[in-house]
Amino acid sequence: MTDPRLPSDPRTLIEPRTLKGFRDHLPPQALAREGILDIARRVYRSYGFVPIDTPALEYLEILTGKGSDETDKQLYRFTHGGREVGMRFDLTVPLARFAAQHIGTLGIPFKRYHMATVWRGENTQRGRYREFMQCDFDTIGTTSPLADLETVLVVHDLLSAIGLESFTIRINDRRVLSGILERLGLADRSTVVLRALDKLGKVSPEGVAAELAGHGIDAAASADLLKLALLSGSPDSVLDALEPLAGGTAPGRAGIDSLRALLDGAGQADVPAGRIVVDPSIARGLDYYTGLVLESFLDELPALGSICSGGRYDNLAGLYTKQHLPGIGASLGIDRLLAGLEELGRLETRETAADVFLVYFDEAHRGNYLRIAAALRRAGMAVEMAAEPKRVGQQLKVASKKGFPLALDIGRDEFAAGTAQCKRMKSQHSTVIDWHGDVPVLVKAVAAELAAVRLGG
């Protein structure tokens, strides 16, 4: 195996395979992925978020600093050259380090997006991998309610732009939960209580009650908590019902008011009613959330879990700097989303990113094909010319299979007559273009066909 040009001894062949939870991305999937990344980039930028990037590897102490044993267990780590190194398991911790290190030159508020791969050595499942990508956006250095609203609007715009027909953004405010916990004298038990309540989507209320009892929560308190977590209905009705449960405490009051203001703002920003739901059971296990928390689900596939979640935190970088940096952000789980779209059959599977397939009909006209392809590309179209002048039927078949919207077909007879056949592959509809050797005329006609096809021709 030292020289790849030599045939290998079959006995020494290494089996090509990927690690558990790690995957190759073939062109159809990779194209879909890039399409969503493009949309995310566009939406984030449309709100003024700017890109950053950070290394995949960090000093281990940076990553373990937050010290939850769960993330610790999942962390990929190794020693290299005497240094303890870890692979990032999310983009928030690197952001915290980044902010602590650079906030002086960044200015506040700082709005960044970061789309990158992260690694977690946990067990795999559908839509859950050990290597996956997150598309984060965060606003740090401000506690403005406008930043909260903007976060929800970005999530809404993003999921809409991806073309999801039905999704729900479920929001809550940690302070509502803190309020009721304070009233019940359970403030110091918040983590176990929130974890238990967070399961309500999957576990029955009785099951959750049993878990709470297991943590020594008395029945009356448990009933109150469940009543709160099970509230549903229109956002207004849920908020009204929250009043007696949590409105009497200072944090509860602040949380409810903040949610009201947020829903109000979303309405003013033209978010359709029903898209945002107040769900008091949304807690998110992460301890560092202090205000708004949000999750979003595909309505047709709720079991897939949240595809975009986030929330507000008080002190992003407290481990790395004395500077107080509050912030808010959310993260799109693109791999989970893609798994969901694929399951719903909603994933467009093309094997080409090009618009026009140029049939290589007649070898004698090679120069003309090259000239035409170049002109089409200058006009902004992506063109693939067949590599060999094989049988026309064969070429068209391949073009159709690969998902080209158009095939341009010009043979000896067409060149003589000054015409071209432009085929819409999907509808098998063919248009004859009269161009009489005038390439700009041809280009314009092909562009028109492409536009028509994109409109559903």
Partner RNA sequence: GUGGCUAUAGCUCAGUUGGUUAGAGCACUAGAUUGUGAUUCUAGGGGUCGCGGGUUCGAGUCCCGUUAGCCACCCCA
Binding site residues, RNA, CB under 7 A: 17, 19-23, 70, 90, 120, 122-130, 132, 134, 195, 198-199, 202-203, 284-286, 295, 303, 305-309, 331, 333, 335-336, 361, 391-393, 396-397, 399-401, 407, 409-414, 421, 423-426, 428-430
* Shortest Å distance, C-beta 391 to RNA: 5
- Rounded to 5 degrees, φ, ψ at 452 are -65, -45
Cα–Cα distance measured from residue 261 to residue 265, given in angstroms and rounded to the nearest whole number: 6
* Helix and strand element counts for the chain (H, E): 16, 16
Instruction: Tell me the H-state helices in 230-273.
Output: 235-246, 250-268
* Shortest Å distance, C-beta 20 to RNA: 3
* Shortest Å distance, C-beta 140 to RNA: 17
- Give the DSSP letter of residue 455: T
Could you tell me which residues come within 8 angstroms of residue 272 by beta carbon, excluding any fewer than 6 positions away? none
* Nearer to RNA (CB atom), residue 146 or residue 364: 364
* Shortest Å distance, C-beta 83 to RNA: 24
* Shortest Å distance, C-beta 339 to RNA: 7
Structure-derived torsion over alpha carbons of residues 132, 338, 302, 154, reported in degrees to the nearest 10: 80
* Nearer to RNA (CB atom), residue 82 or residue 456: 456
* Nearer to RNA (CB atom), residue 138 or residue 295: 295
Considering only CA atoms, which of 112, 101, 142 is closest in space to residue 319? 101
* Nearer to RNA (CB atom), residue 54 or residue 419: 419
* Nearer to RNA (CB atom), residue 43 or residue 245: 43
* Shortest Å distance, C-beta 295 to RNA: 7
Structure-derived torsion over alpha carbons of residues 214, 218, 223, 224, reported in degrees to the nearest 10: -120
* Shortest Å distance, C-beta 179 to RNA: 21
Could you tell me which residues come within 8 angstroms of residue 180 by beta carbon, excluding any fewer than 6 positions away? 224, 225, 228, 245, 246, 249, 252
Q: Would you list the DSSP string of 192-240?
A: HHHHHHHGGGTS-HHHHHHHHHHTT--HHHHHHHHHHHT--SSHHHHHH
* Shortest Å distance, C-beta 175 to RNA: 19
Q: Which two tokens stand for residue 35?
A: 């399409």
* Nearer to RNA (CB atom), residue 122 or residue 240: 122
* Nearer to RNA (CB atom), residue 150 or residue 211: 211
* Shortest Å distance, C-beta 333 to RNA: 3
Q: Which two tokens stand for residue 288?
A: 């560092």
* Nearer to RNA (CB atom), residue 303 or residue 382: 303
* Shortest Å distance, C-beta 177 to RNA: 14
Tell me the β-bridge partners of 168: 297
Give the distance between the most distant pair of CA atoms in the chain.
Answer: 90
* Nearer to RNA (CB atom), residue 43 or residue 239: 43
Cα–Cα distance measured from residue 96 to residue 104, given in angstroms and rounded to the nearest whole number: 13
* Nearer to RNA (CB atom), residue 265 or residue 411: 411
Sheet of 276-278: strand order equals 50-51, 110-119, 131-140, 327-333, 308-313, 289-298, 167-173, 276-278
Q: Report cis status (omega within 30 of 0) of the bond before 109.
A: yes
